Structure 1
């Protein structure tokens, strides 16, 4: 196996290299084959093959006797989980906020500069060993005596790590993030009464779960750790994955700690995967709520599936942040959070996500009132009958408005400009936004242009109309994200204009824009790929 690190992060600002061999391994060939599965599936769906539950695994879904492993230490009660990037201050504040767990994120809320990735790993290493205290701006930050349980989200299988190559190819970002964290911390976590716990993103097929399970078994054997010590919660945030939930749990059953409703990415995937289906055009994203038919069916099936197999069914993100200068508006927003969490707990969820420490109190109060035990595995939801057609039902009330188009453009430009600048999580309009929202905005604009959708005013949405709005709104990005650099703004303006005119939208903006981060980090030109 050949390993080489390409980065200017070294103290002498020169690339560091560790070369073993350059022979392709069986794992790398298998990994490449697995990554080609989504493209083949997409071609079938584009040609009219319907989405459905896989027929070859019907026996797994029908068999009632198998269950996943019981909750690992610290994961019995997950009623509120806070998520966020891995910068030092965020790690301390999140671990101290009173949430049951903290998901430290190397994926959607982190722009993967090499500095962010490596410093994030160091921050987590220090937090585990209670060595993360520091001072900044005259203020002291210290970890509490009983911090939240730590869970880590590595990048998805689709993302490369171009600054590290293995077998003469860019390394998997998933394995880079997972491997560093596991190797340096797994034994220490167990010694302290916890364990190496993960969230796994962007999965589409149960074979991806099988690959993760193989990685877990290999890694545990490599360091002499008992199999089953690792636990992983899978985010069901793609349309194909909702048809593979039983199978994903089955593949990971000795390592599984449940599934999560990654609802914003799920909407993104719903649009992207049904790209050739004119009937799948959705209205303004504010109207695509959790109560619309396809989202409600997705939630009910996820809860039923998890509780049938005795694992956690985690709810979605409350991205709201407090509005400090407007008490009336803040009260309205916080009531919206409360109602969302009430819907989740009454549906049978075992916990929920928040993005800001001050939201913890609201979410905790709702779950404490309505979930008296550590979880709701006993709520089997045997009343739920969800067919494939229910998961595809696009009877969504709402309109496409000029305001909705403008909101998508503003959010897309602001977030992608921040991402290129190395910031993967930013406040926009009192919401803590990450890549998932930027992805929805991008593919919605593409979908509306592709199918010549009409505004509620009757005007057709054309590429020319959207491009005109992009040019008009681009200067306003500086108000939403004051740190924006002019060069980065030009890049994202041209990127979004290009996206709306493509035959099919790109799979991920993070993959498209990663070369800009690689270039800044000094990766060799052959690993940078085309920036657009």
Structure 2
């Protein structure tokens, strides 16, 4: 099956899209047809549930998991042969996350991200190809190039790493009173490298089937990273490890498994050599955890609990239900109703033994704080960060994520104090599959729904869209009302924060959510509904704050370019009668678009197509 590359890309990236990579992509490309079937099935299930006003349920125990020979009952009982957890994954107390490049950066500037990661002291670093990696221009390929150079210990990378080590020690000396890197060359070999491929719902922007649709971004990422780095990683004593995002069903997990098997066969590796963590960030996924684990055996090593994406999926899955109304985003912590039950199901799933008596790992969620701000603000935020890590450790997590290298040495001592490599096999009650289990995964609890909460949702959603369109798919953000207040820290946010904020705003408008508190200036009383008119007024006010913000908070060069487009996308998404499933679709569609009128045309085309056919426009309209 022939593939076609965007003009000039092969000449621009001969070191990334090598002949060997191209051959691997050709070998895996036939699997893309099944991926498209799965996405059509996903959309059909979503439409059917909305039409019937029917919640997600557990699978029939007698059913066979598509793509496997296993029944649902067998998977739930652990009647499958899972893989062994390799040595370099047994202790993953802290995993950092972030991309291996920066927007529109040359190699020297972009590869600094890899140096910070590998010198951070994190047990693992998930180099992100998805939610935290911008997709402007050729960032996805720059990401792969920088990793190949860094893992191959190219002289440019070593030169950069030496300088970065000095900067990191200078910061640590001021913050901790001691350096955090003793020998920078030795430190580079400490951290296990993991790669997050893009999800099944995304298309690659640079490769497509000749005369046909775009190639799956999942296939592009898996093949490119493996071919360029597998041999290097093996020589260094490390494995090939991926994070797999946005899986919704065991059938989708089985597709990923077929992709991993095909990749291993192409590379001449034994089945099960490649390992995979699965991000649990979709509601439907929580109804099929053991089935997903079984479908990915023997590649599967663990689950990760990602807070933001899961909230978004719950909101989206219950968009049809007028009684389902989320509260303010800051109240939906990991101890809140459906979040608490979701986390509990994950830890019970990984601690169910397979046929060989093996357990899996649970990696806790993201710590988004960065220790940058006033002394009071940093101290308070770091106390919350450590308390959050202590809670996850108590609950059974073998480690957690942090969004910035500075957080590694602040949070890692929680697990150092505990001392054990991991908590795999810790006893928890067996999973059950009754009505109360299903209800718990969408359990709402009383919490505020306020005007300040709406301002937070709106301000950060637009800021995130603007950052994405500028190439910063990972960005330090906070609501505009806190600009200039260093006691309120910026949080490292990625695509998920934009997704959830627009989902909740859509929910509040279209379900006429009652507000729990009033607002004298706006003339809002407790119990008043969140109306389109109120949303439009808040939009005008929050947008004015962003236009007036200093460049540190909202880049001045974006205020007449990408910021108006981000506003247009947010408005159209929230006003759309038929809820779009992904904010990222509208952002991807407008990458590189400079005129608001052109963006509005694309937005309208997307929403009308989705409304009338249920199809998402996901391909790069500027491929040619």
TM over 0.5: yes
Q: How many Å apart are 1:65 and its aligned residue?
A: 4.5
Structure 2 partner of 1:313: 362
Equivalent of 1:394 in 427, 443, 451: 443
Structure 2 partner of 1:377: 424
Aligned counterparts of 1:205 and 1:288: Cα–Cα separation in 2: 24
2:349–2:431 Cα contact (<8 Å) kept = no
Structure 2 partner of 1:31: 35
Gaps of 5+ in 2: 64-70, 102-110, 167-183, 354-358, 479-489, 519-525, 595-601, 603-616
Structure 2 partner of 1:339: 387
Is residue 77 of structure 2 the alignment partner of residue 63 of structure 1? yes
Structure 1 partner of 2:44: 40
114 and 181 in structure 1: CA distance in 2 versus 1, 3 angstrom threshold: farther
Q: How many residues align?
A: 520
Question: Secondary structure, in 3 states, of the residue corresponding to 1:83?
Answer: strand
1:434-477 residue CA offsets vs partner (Å, 9 max, x unmatched)? 11111111111110000111222233211222122212222433
Aligned counterparts of 1:328 and 1:148: Cα–Cα separation in 2: 32
Is residue 411 of structure 2 the alignment partner of residue 363 of structure 1? yes
Structure 1 partner of 2:539: 470
Is residue 564 of structure 2 the alignment partner of residue 490 of structure 1? yes
Equivalent of 1:420 in 469, 490, 506: 469
Structure 2 partner of 1:127: 150
Q: How many Å apart are 1:140 and its aligned residue?
A: 7.4
Aligned counterparts of 2:288 and 2:431: Cα–Cα separation in 1: 17
1:51–1:388 Cα contact (<8 Å) kept = no
Is residue 47 of structure 2 the alignment partner of residue 51 of structure 1? no
25 and 530 in structure 1: CA distance in 2 versus 1, 3 angstrom threshold: closer
> 5 Å matches for 1:85-484?
85-87=99-101, 88-131=111-154, 132-135=157-160, 144-167=187-210, 168-309=212-353, 310-324=359-373, 326-370=374-418, 372-382=419-429, 387-429=436-478, 430-455=490-515, 456-457=517-518, 458=526, 459-477=528-546, 478-479=549-550, 480-483=553-556, 484=558
> 5 Å matches for 1:76-91?
76-87=90-101, 88-91=111-114
TM-score by length of 1: 0.91
Moved more, 412-421 or 372-381: 372-381
1:293–1:390 Cα contact (<8 Å) kept = no
29 and 418 in structure 1: CA distance in 2 versus 1, 3 angstrom threshold: same
44 and 354 in structure 1: CA distance in 2 versus 1, 3 angstrom threshold: same
Aligned counterparts of 2:162 and 2:414: Cα–Cα separation in 1: 36
Aligned counterparts of 1:391 and 1:530: Cα–Cα separation in 2: 44
1:73–1:193 Cα contact (<8 Å) kept = no
Gaps of 5+ in 1: none
Aligned counterparts of 1:301 and 1:154: Cα–Cα separation in 2: 25
Question: Secondary structure, in 3 states, of the residue corresponding to 2:135?
Answer: coil
TM-score by length of 2: 0.78
Structure 2 partner of 1:6: 6
1:279–1:394 Cα contact (<8 Å) kept = no
Structure 2 partner of 1:509: 583
Question: Secondary structure, in 3 states, of the residue corresponding to 1:280?
Answer: coil
Aligned counterparts of 2:137 and 2:239: Cα–Cα separation in 1: 26
Aligned counterparts of 2:80 and 2:206: Cα–Cα separation in 1: 42
Moved more, 285-294 or 479-488: 479-488
Question: Secondary structure, in 3 states, of the residue corresponding to 1:317?
Answer: strand
Q: How many Å apart are 1:115 and its aligned residue?
A: 1.9
Moved more, 201-210 or 37-46: 37-46
Moved more, 509-518 or 36-45: 509-518
485 and 52 in structure 1: CA distance in 2 versus 1, 3 angstrom threshold: same
Aligned counterparts of 2:83 and 2:531: Cα–Cα separation in 1: 52
Moved more, 77-86 or 66-75: 66-75
Q: How many Å apart are 1:64 and its aligned residue?
A: 3.8
1:109-149 residue CA offsets vs partner (Å, 9 max, x unmatched)? 11113421111101111221222234499867876343310
2:98–2:126 Cα contact (<8 Å) kept = yes
Structure 1 partner of 2:67: none
Q: How many Å apart are 1:380 and its aligned residue?
A: 2.2
Q: How many Å apart are 1:33 and its aligned residue?
A: 0.9
Question: Secondary structure, in 3 states, of the residue corresponding to 2:370?
Answer: coil
Aligned counterparts of 1:443 and 1:77: Cα–Cα separation in 2: 36
Aligned counterparts of 2:76 and 2:408: Cα–Cα separation in 1: 38
1:85–1:110 Cα contact (<8 Å) kept = yes
Question: Secondary structure, in 3 states, of the residue corresponding to 2:225?
Answer: helix
Question: Secondary structure, in 3 states, of the residue corresponding to 1:111?
Answer: coil
2:32–2:215 Cα contact (<8 Å) kept = no
RMSD over aligned Cα, in angstroms? 2.7
Aligned counterparts of 1:301 and 1:117: Cα–Cα separation in 2: 34
2:32–2:216 Cα contact (<8 Å) kept = no
191 and 519 in structure 1: CA distance in 2 versus 1, 3 angstrom threshold: farther
